[in-house]
Amino acid sequence: MSILEELKLLLNALGFVVETGVFSGMAPNEYCVLIPMSDSFPMFADDLPVFETQEVRISLFAKQNYTERKNLMVKELLKKGFTITGRYYVGRETDTEYHHYAIDVQKNYDYYID
């Protein structure tokens, strides 16, 4: 499983509409966009990677107050073993009236070479 697959399952279970890269179609009052940021091999054993670290930015867009939903998302991410590397309010988009809040997450995945 990848970080994108895990995040989609988790966020959908919490009632968020989720897309990767860009939201297509008519946007609801609240939705998330997942932006893949990096895949790396930070640890090696015998010159081969032991695990892969994957990192994604979750962009939460909400026309209403986003705080309660953001807090729920953060708690569930931590419960599921994600590391949160950054959280910040990007701003209110005046043309669309969406508040934009970003959460950067990462998770390690075992990496085996046959």
Give residue-wise pLDDT tens across range 7-40.
Answer: 999 999 999 999 998 888 888 999 999 999 998 8
Q: Does the global pTM surpass 0.85?
A: yes
Residue 26: CATH number of its domain: 3.30.2000.30
Range of the domain at 49: 3-110
Other C-beta atoms closer than 10 Å to the C-beta of 6 total 19
Q: What number of CA atoms fall less than 13 Å from residue 52's CA on the CB side?
A: 12
- The number of domains in the chain is 1
CA distance 57 to 90: 12
pLDDT for position 22: 85
